[in-house]
Amino acid sequence: MSTFFAKQQQVAALDPRLGGLMASAGLYNLKALIKAIRACKTLADERNLIQKESASIRTAFKDEDPLARHNNIAKLLYIHMLGYPAHFGQIECLKLVATPRFTDKRLGYLGIMLLLDENTEVLTLVTNGLKNDMNHSNMYIVGLALCTFGNIASEEMSRDLCNEVEKLMGSSNTYIRRKAALCAMRIVRKVPDLLDHFQERTRSLLSDKNHGVLLCAVTLAIEIVHVDPSEETLDAFRKCVPLLVRHLKALVTTGYSPEHDVSGITDPFLQVKILRLLRILGKGHQAVSESMNDILAQVATNTEASKNVGNAILYETVLTILDIEAENGLRVMAINILGKFLGNRDNNIRYVALNTLNKVVSLDTNAVQRHRNIILDCLRDGDISIRRRALELSYALINESNVRVLTRELLSFLQVADNEFKLGMTTHICLAAEKYAPNKRWHIDTVLRVLKLAGNYVREDVLSSFIRLVCHTPELQAYTVQKLFSAVHADFSQESLTLAAVWVIGEFGEVLLQGGNFEDEELVREVKPKDIVDLLDALLNSPYINSHIRQYILTALAKLTSRIGSSDAPQIQRVQQILRSFDSTVEVEIQQRSVEYSALLRRPDISEGVLESMPLPEVKATIVGTVNENKSVGSTKVDKNDLLDLMGGDDLVADGSVAAGAAVGTRNGVSTAPGAGSSQQSTQDLLADIFGGGGLVDAAASNAAAAAPPKASVDDIMGLFGHSGALPSASSAAPKPVPAQSANSDLGGLDLLGGVGISSSSQTEAPAPALAGSSSVVAYSAYDQKGLNITLTPQVSPMRPDVVNILANFKVTGSQQISDIKFQAAVPKSQRLQMLAISSQALAPGEAATQQMRVMAPRGAQVRLRLRVGFNANGEEVQDQVDFSGFPVNLLG
């Protein structure tokens, strides 16, 4: 609106005659027109008035009266500023420009700038008039032409008038030089090819003593290096750095200058522009950066920060210091300035400080750490944008030394945070705990606290990582399950909390029943089977529970029957009754689980094996990192630090879901059983090979499963559900294969469940993959070049004669270092392939690595592989591809 009124006043003041002259065909002069429009009471009245006056102006243009044309163009421009059509006056503006009178030219050029743009065809008629006026003897007419050119110049016009603008940049008149420099910037933007015309002129203008010319020259130099950031262009302007430093020093040290003073600072606009150009020229250049270190330190220390003018210069100085190759002391000073900005009462200044610190925290974390307290104070700011930036910066500040303090502050903020922050906060807090936790006890407590405070805003990856951690920490399983039992008993509203508690209670129910000797008043001392069944029954009837959680509850109830054993028959009968109550529910998934579990519990000879503890989930990287097995467990006693972390003794609970990498039974994409294992390896790994157990769990677990006696046959399970050849995919005990990358494009999802027809109970074990060199297997050489030897050891699955487990062994045969090993395989379309990751991508001389594969092929077919091998041998990149068909023809019978 301010621009509108400014233009309105400009039009009104174009010519003093406008107030008294009457349009030849209209009823109003400009002043009367403005008065009449303001007097209109409705929009319709205004529209009618404008239409009548536009018609009068259009008729008057035909009379070719120069005096009337001036008045009519003035009224037309006012009509245009009100938003009404005025394009019919474009040619009349060109006629005004062609007159010799200055007032007519001024109004004509104003009309051209308002009514035309660079895409208007009429613009081509303006080029000749601009060229003539640029060579005019009157400096103000030259200024009008340059001003018009700078606003509407097109690419074609820029090429036509480039020489005139270049010549005017060397004018002796500072007024013209300044406007010509701005026009040159327009040309550089429109036609980068003409950039060479202005480099030398720009460098000469940088030595100008006039502040206006110098400001335009610096702006033009910034535009040139932005359009052409080549080293040649940068080096040309780097020669001007000493000159720019002198200019900046003069501005900083000069006394009061009334012509350029703004709030006690001399020409802050020029200072900011020079600092910005120095930042571009000093980036990545050590010598140039050293030449400006002193002046930057002087600007940073001598600039008054009590007003916004000084803060603007300080902010630009900070950006310059952080971008160039500055000394460490200067960088610390810059970060301290940003720290002072955080204490400013102006929200805008605090915001830019936090935003800048987020960008530089990776460059000098220790310097930013000094302002940690004030950054944490910004979490309580009323401005949501400041809270968001402070949160991002807090995440970046977490390290091993301050993880307890910062996590405690973030947990405190999580209690009152906006819902839009909670998902990101829970992920980042758990990621920090994963990376920097001092011990596993603290890690578990932290995740439990997060899940209790924001159980409905936790990613599945976080829950998977938590469950995986609990499974791999048998010393704290009793502690965790009791905390979860207590927490979910008090709060049903947190969906993820309930899911985690149900999973852990179902998996480690026997640990919960055993109790524990913990020095924590919040832990449950003694739990009876009735208490657990009461809790799960209450959860089933809770209004907060959805269908997904009900499926987990039914699975947990079924598992509890094997945990409780025969010690409490009434509770087992009660569990069976609860399961049967869902036989007729309208939800198909729940009904199916109810029927299946009820049938399973009627077969005690196989239910114990099916419902036993899940195998340990695979330890692998996820969005929240990798479980660190090297961390200490930590005591279950509550020490001083733990009391601080608990924030006043609030109970810690956890949220959970299917652990990533664990075995999960599914149907139609819905998980039917949580997928993490207990600390005790299963005594029977039923159907392990079929569902991915052959090599997908760690070697110790596989060996334990192979050594244990079987408990039931596969056919018994098939007969239980009335199937003769395929295991029901909804069985909660059936683990799902760990996702692996397929080397064949048509292998979307490898399904090994079809065609199961094993009748011998002696074949229900899951043998661990045999290693090369054993007496029962043979290793076949697949690749031996450049110092890397690869052998393949096949072993047919005893339970699936059409499945071959292949162990690839990588060994360095030479004296060189092998790194970045990439091993890919493909099979014919008639076969299916699964691969796990290689155990190590870097090998020293004599070292070895392994990678597991699994191929499913038709009976009697020969296993054929196309192998692609890539690695780095002492700096030499090697890429090879070989076809391998060296396995015996009768490998698959």
Q: What percent of the chain has pLDDT over 90?
A: 33
Q: What mean pLDDT comes out for the span 434-450?
A: 91
Q: What mean pLDDT comes out for the span 759-788?
A: 56
Give per-residue pLDDT as tens, 497-513.
898 899 999 988 888 88
Are 829 and 858 within 8 A, CB to CB? no
Position 520 confidence tier, pLDDT thresholds 50, 70, 90: low
Written as six digits, the tokens of 637 are: 């006693």
Q: Does 771 or 93 have the greater pLDDT score?
A: 93
Neighbours of 763 (CB within 10 A): 17
Place of tokens 């072993």: 795
- Residue 620 is predicted with a pLDDT of 58
CA dihedral 278→284→286→287, nearest 10 degrees, is -50
Neighbours of 812 (CB within 10 A): 20
Does position 754 have pLDDT exceeding 90, yes or no?
no
Contacts 24+ apart (CB under 8 A), 344-348: 344/311, 346/308, 347/381, 347/383, 347/386
The DSSP 8-state label assigned to residue 774 in this structure reads: S
Signed CA dihedral, 256, 259, 260, 261: sign only? positive
- Residue 177 is predicted with a pLDDT of 94
Signed CA dihedral, 329, 330, 331, 334: sign only? positive
Q: SS3 letters for 843-890?
A: ECCCCEEEEEEEEECCCCCCCCEEEEEEEEECCEEEEEEEEECCCCCC
Does position 17 have pLDDT exceeding 50, yes or no?
no
- Report the C-alpha gap between 788 and 816 in whole angstroms: 10
Phi, psi of 603 (to 5 degrees): -120, 75
Does position 109 have pLDDT exceeding 60, yes or no?
yes
Give the pairing type, strands 876-884 and 832-835.
unpaired
Cα 79 to chain centroid distance, Å, stands at: 49
Give per-residue pLDDT as tens, 639-684.
545 544 544 333 333 333 323 223 333 333 333 333 333 333 333 3
Contacts of 608 (CB under 8 A, 6+ apart): 562, 711
Written as six digits, the tokens of 256 are: 């009061």
Domain locations in the chain? 443-616, 780-884
Residue range 780-884 forms a domain whose CATH class is: mainly beta
Does position 87 have pLDDT exceeding 80, yes or no?
yes
The b-or-e profile of 392-423 (16+ CB within 10 A means b, else e) is bbbbebbeeeebbbbbbbbbebbeebeeebbe
Are 283 and 238 within 8 A, CB to CB? no
- Residue 522 is predicted with a pLDDT of 58
Give per-residue pLDDT as tens, 120-151.
888 888 999 999 999 999 999 999 999 999 99
